[in-house]
Amino acid sequence: MTSDEAQGLIDDSSKFKELKDSTRDFINREDYSEIIKDTFIKVMEKLLSELGFKPTWSDYSSLWGTYETELGTNEENMNDPQIFLKYSKDLVQEFIWLHS
């Protein structure tokens, strides 16, 4: 999938919901009770691979930095898988911007 196609998927809320649901199923199937750096990488790899992307370690590092420092509020537990899902669209958008 090209960056433009991925952007179209992000912009189409029903299509992105399918991707988000698939990611939620993956998190539940793997029994990830919290999103720490190692699980973040595994979940992002799954999410981005469904879009046809093959992120590098520097991509993961950059996205983790964004997730850890730029998204969310002080009141949110960023280790909670539901919070990860809440910001998954922002993370995919960030990845597309990094590669455009």
Q: Distance between CA atoms of 44 and 34, rounded to whole angstroms?
A: 14
How many domains is the chain built from?
1
User: Position 17: which residue type?
Assistant: K
* Mean pLDDT, the chain cut into blocks of 10 residues (100 residues total): 78 87 97 95 95 93 94 90 96 91
The full DSSP string for 50-94 is: HTT----HHHHHHHHHHHHHTSS-TTS-TTSHHHHHHHHHHHHHH
The pTM of the full predicted model, rounded to 2 decimals, is: 0.89
User: What are the phi and psi torsion angles at 80 (to 5°)?
Assistant: -75, 125
pLDDT in tens, 64-90: 999 999 998 888 999 999 999 999 999
Domain enclosing residue 62, as ranges: 3-98
Tokens of 2: 């090209």
